[in-house]
Structure 1
Amino acid sequence: MRRHVWAPAVLLGLVAAVLALVLAMSGSPNGSSGDRSGDRSGDRSDGRSGPRPGGGATGPARDDPELGWGFTHTQFSADSGAPDAVARARKLLSGQPLPQGQAIMGWGAGNPEPSPGVYDFADLDRRIAFIRSTGSTPVITLCCAPDWMKGGKPGAEHTDWSLKSFESAPLARHYADFADLAATVARRYPDVRHFVVWNEFKGFFDETRHRWDYEGYTRLYNLVYEALKKVDPHNRVGGPYLVMDSYAPQDTQFASELKGPWGSVDQRVLDAFAYWNAHKKGADFVAVDGAGFTRDDRALPGPFTALDKFTDVGRWLRAHAGGLPLWWTEYYVEPEGSGWSERRRVAAQATAMIAIARGGATTAFYWSPQQTTGPCPGCLWKPTRLADGGAALPMYGLLSRFAEEFPPGTRYGRGESTAEDIPGVRVLAGDRSVLVVNTLDRAVRARVTGRPVPLEAYEVRWLDR
């Protein structure tokens, strides 16, 4: 959500320059398609014998449906850039492997099947190889679809990266073809065990009926689910990757039972979830995404208290999903054009992660923004296209520490703290550590685990239990 998909970088340099400018000016993490740099020696099979396996492995396949805290690769990421910077980023990510997500088309990957039975996995190979090199768990998002599955022309030269085309769903007559592509991807990367079907219901909104075409999505999902399980029954498959959009409390047009001071989740989204939940062939986890703010970028009742939405939505999903593990495949805390400092941004992320954990999620992916040069708000590491890139930034420090201290299975408590009684201070106490966040723009003094803890404005503090 709130990001665009642009043309591959092999197009005119002007396009790349415009893309970099747009990304640099964006206030929220924007993804995009087709950074086509790097090795182009990937398989281009005619499909008769099938493409060769991608090679390499992350070690023993991990098929646990609860992965913890990680991030998703977008257009520009740590797999390409200045050699020393790439090596630095690889070393950083190898120090504490975090699960890493990658789409099969877009967000750094080109068209995987430009013509029926003709494959080009060069970009996806490069990304998966990088994830493998860090010892991390790879997760593949099965989105988006080649043009010929959407009514376009076959052939790499006809790939249309415009937003309208890219975000189109496969035509119903090509659902089985997309499932075959998903199976091909699974066979190519046999060490990958985790697959998310599609992304945000892209192309599945029925403009005539003004609601989601959840019947169509569920048919696609079921075909993909069965295809992946046929490749390997240990493959873990989930969906529906709905955006849990919400509206302000006074906006009642699409109001639902899932509500709070932050607003109300769109009833049409809940209808789509209910249909998928009732008619799916199976699922190993439930995947959703969403933002703490409303559809019109309002954070209610305030920028930090709005993030309680993640707790309320998570608990609702857990109650309705029959105990399936809950994944947040994307989560956003910062409205467009916020003007926040990095210190405030990190505090907001920490607050959102606390809310997500309290809502029962055991897997969550930070939508990792990356740029080519200059300032990189919210980035995990310094851009690897800079000679001195690849070094950790404050957001990576938060994400990696949170993943280390609060893995799946953590038992959460109050932490013997008076901090939660102080407006604006959030606390998450785990088995070993306590995370304390001051969401105020002024210093406060709290008492945590029996100790006085002074907190500066927007400070994120870790304490040993």
Structure 2
Amino acid sequence: MKTSSTTPLLLVLVLVLVGCASAAGSDEQNELGWGMTHTQWGIDQRTPEAIASMTAQLTARPMVQAQSIMGWGVGNPEPAPGEFDFASLDGRMSFIRRSGGIPVITLCCAPDWMKGGEEGETDWSRLEVAPSPEHYQDFADLAAEVARRYPDVRHFMVWNEFKGFFNESTNTWDGEAYTELYNAVYDAVKQVNPANQIGGPYLDMAAPPPGLSLSPSSLAGSWGQVDPRTLNAFDTWAREKRGADFVVVDGIATVEEGAPDRVTALAKLSAVSEWVRQRVDLPLWWAEWYVEPRGAGWSPATRTAMNTAALVQFVRSDVATALFWNSAPSASSPTDLWTADGQPLPFLAVLQSFNEWFPPGTPLQELGTAPPLFTLASPRMVVLVNVGDQSATATVDGTTVTLAPDEVRWVARDTS
């Protein structure tokens, strides 16, 4: 067969392109769906019987589970340079594996010696201090060590809410400094395995502090506004990042952020998602979200309904992954998925049902409803949530469905 002299060059080009596509990943592999993040009180303070119950519940209907490398239930992974202690992180990763979870690691926070502290010491009051610039590479090396230790983990979020990256002298978030750290981590973790998937900037899309005079925000609505300094930091990361496989944000959608009521506040989730998507063409992750004002003391029914409505907003906004912050059951605004003895609270079943019936990319059909009634309809299932203070009705396949305030209703559709 006669061949062209350009064939070897074309073959090399094809192999390079295939390799690049594999290293960068596809949108689908970064669309993990709906899950949770482990925190200080999630597992360790419970009895073996409670942990066994939680493990069984998660194994029956697995979901994505995230864990930080230091803090939030995990000790210092590198108390001194080159001296590693992964015992507590190993324990958390073992739980995720035993319960069938899709593992995600949050690369935060940094050992004390990387931020001006003493080698061998851990001052937990300084957990949220960022590494000093001369130790960015040391933190990146630690991230690479973590990636090597847990080769089954494919997804890594870099840092958490820009902790330690606020520049007091300029009164703004230091996007350049964060992105320098991010790029060092990105290079190191990709060097361990090019298939590792990495995302940032994990910014809290919060409103500006009350009374602070700032330039107008480009992201505002009836729900409130996002601090323009946060948006500038996001744009810096988007512009200067070495690469990314997914983009990460989090946020509070409550009346504390400027909304007149809790129903209007939920619109922030969609508005932020749209703003991010206009700037970065990557799968969008919400690493945390909060819909209950601090200390509000909502009833379990209200809390479940509002968090379910938030998931409806995420699905409608083509969010790829959203992680519920699994905090203490005794907090003033609890966000736990289990009771202290390991019994499931209602929102656990909601998360698992959303993974089953409304994973990312599910084709949706409209029911013609509007807030305070939030609905999703696929060819197989409908979920309806009434977050208003009055009864609400919707028509599903010719049948009128009436929901009480704070009710969540699942309606299977006839597919025969």
TM-score normalised by L of structure 2:
0.89
Structure 1, 389-398 or 243-252: larger mean CA deviation: 243-252
Match of 1:274 among 227, 235, 240: 235
Aligned to 2:355: 403
Structure 2 distance, partners of 1:76, 1:249, is 31
Structure 2 distance, partners of 1:275, 1:458, is 40
Secondary structure of the 1:246 match is coil
Secondary structure of the 1:398 match is helix
- Deviation at 1:342? 0.6
Match of 2:57 among 66, 87, 92: 92
Whether the 8 Å contact between 2:373 and 2:385 is mirrored in structure 1 is yes
Aligned to 1:379: 336
The yes-or-no answer on 1:368 pairing with 2:326 is yes
Aligned to 2:380: 432
Change (3 A) 1:305 1:440: same
- Deviation at 1:189? 0.4
Aligned to 1:392: 344
Secondary structure of the 1:180 match is helix
Structure 2 distance, partners of 1:374, 1:228, is 35
- Deviation at 1:424? 1.7
Structure 2 distance, partners of 1:235, 1:63, is 14
Letter in 2 for 1:275: T
How do 1:179-198 and structure 2 match up within 5 A? Answer: 179-198=140-159
Structure 1, 248-257 or 435-444: larger mean CA deviation: 248-257
Whether the 8 Å contact between 1:313 and 1:359 is mirrored in structure 2 is no
Aligned to 2:271: 312
Change (3 A) 1:248 1:404: farther
Whether the 8 Å contact between 2:44 and 2:73 is mirrored in structure 1 is no
Change (3 A) 1:390 1:151: same
Structure 2 residues not aligned, in runs of 5+: 1-26
Structure 1 residues not aligned, in runs of 5+: 1-61, 384-388
Aligned to 1:257: 218
Structure 1 distance, partners of 2:331, 2:242, is 47
Change (3 A) 1:171 1:248: closer
Match of 1:419 among 344, 350, 369: 369
Whether the 8 Å contact between 1:370 and 1:376 is mirrored in structure 2 is no
Structure 1 distance, partners of 2:257, 2:28, is 38
Deviations 1:416-450 (A, max 9, x none): x2433xx5211122342111111122323332332
Structure 2 distance, partners of 1:215, 1:251, is 23
Structure 2 distance, partners of 1:80, 1:440, is 36
Secondary structure of the 1:304 match is helix
Greater helix percent: which structure? 2
- Deviation at 1:71? 0.1
Whether the 8 Å contact between 1:139 and 1:192 is mirrored in structure 2 is yes
- Deviation at 1:299? 5.3
Larger radius of gyration: 2
Match of 1:455 among 382, 400, 403: 403
- Deviation at 1:298? 4.5
Deviations 1:228-277 (A, max 9, x none): 01000000000000010125999862431211101111111111111110
Aligned to 2:86: 121
How do 1:10-409 and structure 2 match up within 5 A? Answer: 64-78=29-43, 81-155=46-120, 158-162=121-125, 165-247=126-208, 253-293=214-254, 297-298=256-257, 300-321=259-280, 323-371=281-329, 377-383=334-340, 389-409=341-361
Whether the 8 Å contact between 1:241 and 1:287 is mirrored in structure 2 is yes
Secondary structure of the 2:382 match is strand
User: What percentage of residue pairs aligned between the two structures are identical?
Assistant: 51
- Deviation at 1:324? 0.4
Deviations 1:82-101 (A, max 9, x none): 22211111000101111000
- Deviation at 1:166? 1.1
Structure 2 distance, partners of 1:95, 1:121, is 28
Deviations 1:42-87 (A, max 9, x none): xxxxxxxxxxxxxxxxxxxx99111000000000223563222111
Structure 1 distance, partners of 2:224, 2:333, is 31
Letter in 2 for 1:364: A
- Deviation at 1:139? 0.3
Match of 1:442 among 390, 400, 404: 390
Structure 1 distance, partners of 2:378, 2:28, is 25
Structure 1 distance, partners of 2:379, 2:258, is 32
Structure 1 distance, partners of 2:241, 2:333, is 40
Structure 1 distance, partners of 2:263, 2:331, is 28
Runs of 4+ with >3 A deviation: 247-252, 373-378
